[in-house]
Structure formats: structure tokens, C-alpha cells
Amino acid sequence: MGIDLYRVMPMAVNPASLDLPRKPGVYLFKRADGRVQYVGKATNLRSRVGSYFAAKQKREKVPKLVAESDDVEYIVTQSPSEALILERQLIRKHKPRYNSMLMDDKSYPFIAFTGHEHPRVIYTRHPPKNSQRWGPFPDAGAAKKVIRLIRSQFGIRDCPELLPSGCLAMHIGLCHGPCIEPEGYDQQVRAASSVLDGDAGVLIEALQEEMDRASAELDYETAAQKRDLIQAVNTTLSQQVIHSRFYQDCDAVGFSSVGEVAVVLILHAKDGVIQGQVSYPVLHRGDIVASVSLVLSEHYANRRPPKTLLVPAPLTDSMNDWLSERRGKRVTVRNPQRGELTKLRAMADANAEIQATRQSTKRSGNLEQMAADQAAKVHGFDSLDHIVCFDMAQIQGKERVGAAVVLRNGRPSKKEYRTYRVKTDAADDLRMMQEVVERWLKRQQEWPDLLLLDGGETHLKHIHAMLKSHGLGDRFPIAALAKKEETLWRLDVDAVKLDRKSRVLVYARDEAHRFVNTYHRKRRSKGGLKSPLEEVEGLGAKKIQSLLRHFGGMKGIEHATEAQLAATPGIGRALAHRIYTHLHG
């Protein structure tokens, strides 16, 4: 991008004396302290900036903006299209008071298959060149669930490099293992690509059957997981819902605002079918065209615009030209007032209104998400929406236990909390934590945004070495938080003492400490195990009671076959196998 930077000051002078070029570019209204108040783009900088000094103004914010500004900077670009992209970058950087802006100032994530000989599936905000990509996805949680589904159903690798002896993901069934046996991997990639392209009917049907089967076996936890996966596929992969011969290659843009919170929603229609929607929450400054243009420049930056775009208000010529440039052909931008296309536009508005109401409520109450976003920004993480934190507890070598707590969007996800009894003869914290984290790894189908350890630099290096031995050294961020000085240790990053901007990390560590100590006290109060069944992983008090009632006591359970155990309400085949193996070796 060829650009030139100039400054004009002060704003108190006669606007006619401003020596602005008649060229495309971006202009910045600034205060005396350097704070950027507003960023705008222009096909002709001189006439556009000059319009801010006209006697009559249609926009209420203009007189106030001019009165509060002390100077103007402008950046000349080679074309209006370059000005559009630069404007978006500067808004993201300066967060001006008078600009509309995306409420999540990060770019939205994509699902991508890399261009390797044996492609890797990744969740990323910056897809690599030559990759096959889908997105962007404002619902990042649903996108992560779909990646988990793609890995478990099709065995698509997510490792940064192929390892000669495979990795843990291959051994627990999350990877086809092209590093060991590449035959058939290409077919798996094509099948997964087909699902991501929207042909998910067969996959959803299979998941539905698995959910029904788990429900029939009273394995409600598994049934709920399958239900959530179906919902994630539906959310992310855009199911076909409405047909019309008018809806060919066409996107409809809806807009709604509640106060300063707005949503710009895009309905995508192709071959006569509405195929899905994407919504973007926006901090709205009163100019609908500015808010809509900001979202369109974000949405179509990494995807081809449609042949026809239906908008709530006419766009600027520079935006129209940029859309056509991105498509490689002319994009017809319309603001329909009647007919079938008006119905599609009205549907987009109705959906945007629902989302705007939800966003307004969410923004006023979700302080936890704000804390997670703040800590992610301070420490340079892409996201901290999913944190897993480990802590250990023991007294004089007895009742050696560990626990993992999970935070989702800054809030505890207690259904995902896990406790562990150390099974080996490990006596020190490091080896006990290694055993517990290793057992946790083998049951994961989704990697966290951060694995946090209660400990210091030694814990960090020890657990990272274990992860590296399983081929997971670079798969997800890992850190350790020492309680004494609230110091955060990370790999290849200087240790830092945390302040209130990192309270979500301190909370995760404190919650893990509370949870493991509660479990430890519970273990000690029992004075030893009351039943050998309590050693079976996944077998809690309710299921033990169910077994005792079903078989009339412990002897009946010990003499039961694996099939008889599986027939017990709430047990299922997998748990029955673990019980039988535990009791009979």
C-alpha cells in the first residue's frame, strides 16, 4: 500500500486555508493531547474534510467533533479501496470516540485446512496462504466444537509437524495418523471438506443416531454431548432453511440497534436457498452507513462478495467499488423497497433486532467475559475463553489428589471440573501433576486456549517437557502461576507479576486451589475407601447406589458378568467394562 503522511494544524484556522489534496485517503480528527477522535475515508480528501465546516450539518455529531478537535492528520492512498482497508485498521488501532467499531476488536476466526501434502486443520484468525478456509465465524465456540468434531469423526491432524512415531492424538483416536500411514488420509480430508462446505446431512444423521442410542442406554452425559455437537454443526455450517427462485447469489444485510449497541447481520442465499447467517456486534455511533460499511469490509476481506447485496441504506461509491474489486466482477448493491427481495431484507432486520437485544443484555451483565478479554489482550493470547487450571494436594504422602477446573468465557464451567486420585507412587508435586495432566490429555477432544498450572517455572518446564514427549508441545499455550508473588511464568516470555487486569487468571488458580482442597478434605474424612468401586474412574456415588440396588449388594456386583453390569440403569458398556476389569483384573 503506497501512502504519504501529512499533518494540518490547528483546526481553529479558516477551513479554506487547509491545504488538503484532491486525492483519495484517510483523515484523522485529533485532540491537542494526540487522542484520535474520528477516522474517516475519502475519495477526495479536500472536499470531504471541507464538508465538516459547512453551515448546515445532517449529522448531529459533526459540530461537536469539530469543536473538540485541535488538528487533522491525513494519509494519502493510491486508491479509494486502499483507503477503505486503512480506515478499518486505524479504527481498530485507535478506537476513536466518534467512530462505529466492532465490539470484538479482534478479527473473527476461521477454520482452515493448510496447504501441506497431508493438510492440518486449524482454528485461526489469520489463515495461512494457500489454505482452504471457511468463515469468519463470530460464534467462536461453535467453530471450536466443529473442529473437535472434524478431528474425532475424520481423524484430521492438527499437529504443527508430522512425527515419525505419531503422537498422543493418534493413539487416542483424534488423528488418522498420516505420519505413520498416509493411505486414505486424502479421502478423509475430502469428506471433512464436504461437511464444512455445508453437506452435513449424513454426519448430523449419524450424530442423531449416536445420541438416541446413548439416551436409550441412560448415558445422558454422552447424549448431551452429541446434542451439543449437532447444535454446533447447525450453528456453524449454515443449514438450508428457505427457498425462493429470487435468492440466487445474494446476501441481505440487516441492521438493528439498542442504544449504542448494534448488530449488523448478513443472510447468505445461493441457488434459491437461504443457507445461513452471520452477525457482528458493533458499537454504533449513529451513522448506519458507517456501521454497515465497517462490517462489510471485515466480512468480505477474506471471502468473495455475492453478485447482489441488499443493504438497509445506500453505500458510498468507494464501498461499492471495493466490493466489485473483491469479487472481480460488478456487485449490484440495492436497497429494495418492494417485492421478494424486500422480504429477504426484512428477515435480515428481524434477525438483527433479536441479536441486538441479546447483545445489549449480554454487554451489560457479562463482566467475566470482559475480564477474560482484557487478560488475553494484556498477555498477548488470541483468546482466554477456555482456561483449564490444575492444582495438587497431599498431606504427609496420604490422599494424594489433583483437580482440574475449567473457565468458559470467564465463568466456571462446573460440569467440566474433574478430580483425580494419584495412582502411581509419585510423591512430589511435579510427578503427581504430570500423571494427572497426562490422564486429562487422554480424554480431551478440544484443546484449551490456556493450560494453567498452580506452580512456578519448574512446574511449567516439567509439564511442557511431558507435553512435548506426546507431540503436543506447541498445540496450546501453557503457563504457571505462583501464588506467593502472583507471578505468571510462560515459555520464552519474561515472568510478569499480575495486576487487576489479569484477575481472570488469578481467579482460575484460586478456584482450582479451593476445589482440590475441598476434594482432599472429603477424602481424608472418609478415613480410607469404603468400597473398591470408588476407585473406578467415572463411577460416582449415585451410580454405585444404582449398582447396589440392582444386584442387592457387593457380592452380586462381584459375581456379575460384564453384560449384566452394562444392563444396570445409568452404567452403559464402557463403564461396565471398567468396573469388571477393576474387580477381576
pLDDT digit string (tens) for 228-271? Answer: 767 766 655 543 333 444 556 788 999 999 887 889 999 887 66
- With a CB cutoff of 8 Å and minimum separation 6, the contacts of 510 are none
Q: What is the value of pTM for the model shown?
A: 0.50
Residue 483 above 70 pLDDT? yes
Q: Would you call 200 helix, strand, or coil by DSSP?
A: coil
C-alpha cell at 374: 482484557
Closest C-alpha among 116, 185, 113 to residue 146: 113
What are the beta bridge partners of residue 497? 487
| Amino acid, single-letter form, for residue 514 | R
Amino acid 241: pLDDT: 35
CB 369: neighbour CB atoms within 10 A? 18
Q: Is the pLDDT of residue 295 over 80?
A: yes
Tell me what pLDDT residue 14 has: 53
- Residue 310 backbone phi and psi in degrees, to 5: -100, 125
| Structure confidence at residue 585 (pLDDT) | 67
**Least confident window among 12-21, 143-152, 330-339, 493-502:** 12-21
% of the chain surpassing 70 pLDDT = 86
Higher pLDDT, 181 or 315: 315
pLDDT of residue 404: 95
C-alpha to C-alpha distance for 189 and 156, rounded to whole angstroms: 7
Residue 271: its pLDDT value, please? 61
Q: Which of 10-24, 76-90, 171-185 has the lowest mean pLDDT?
A: 10-24
The answer to whether 146 touches 236, Cβ cutoff 8 Å, is yes
> How many other C-beta atoms lie within 10 A of the C-beta of residue 489?
21
Backbone torsions φ then ψ of 187, nearest 5 degrees: -65, -35
pLDDT at 138: 61
What is the pLDDT, as a whole number, of residue 506? 92
Q: What is the pLDDT of residue 233?
A: 65
Other C-beta atoms lying within 10 Å of the C-beta of residue 416: 13
pLDDT of residue 453: 95
Give the model's pLDDT for residue 104.
60
Considering 85-99, 137-151, 395-409, 437-451, the range whose residues carry the highest mean pLDDT is 437-451
Residue 36 has pLDDT above 50, yes or no: yes
Reported as a single tens digit per residue, the pLDDT across 513-560 is 999 888 887 876 665 445 677 778 878 777 887 787 788 777 888 888
Q: What is the pLDDT of residue 243?
A: 40
pLDDT digits (tens, 9 = 90+) for 187-207: 778 778 877 776 667 677 877
Residues 6+ apart with CB under 8 A from 554: 531, 548
Mean pLDDT value of segment 12-31: 75
**Per-residue pLDDT for 30 more than 80?**
yes
What pLDDT was estimated at residue 406?
A: 95
- Among 191, 146, 151, 187, smallest CA distance to 170 is for 151
Task: Taking residues 385-407, report their average pLDDT.
Answer: 85
Q: How does pLDDT run across 412-445, given as a tens digit for each residue?
A: 999 999 999 888 887 788 899 999 999 999 888 7
pLDDT at res. 244: 43
Which grid cell sits at 463? Answer: 509439564
Count of beta carbons in the 10 Å neighbourhood of residue 19: 7
pLDDT confidence bin for 10, thresholds 50/70/90: very low
Mean pLDDT of the chain: 81
Mean pLDDT of 574-583: 88
Higher-confidence position of 197 and 37: 37
Domains and CATH numbers, the chain: 4-99 (3.40.1440.10), 110-237 (no CATH), 242-365 (3.30.420), 376-526 (3.30.420.340), 532-584 (1.10.150.20)
- DSSP-assigned states of every residue in 330-366: --EEE---SSHHHHHHHHHHHHHHHHHHHHHHHHHH-
Residue 106: pLDDT band by 50, 70, 90 thresholds? low
* Per-residue model confidence (pLDDT) at position 416: 92
Residues 6+ apart with CB under 8 A from 185: 118, 155, 176, 178
- Which residue has 501453557 as its cell numbers? 478
Q: Alpha helix (H) ranges present in 238-308?
A: 288-299
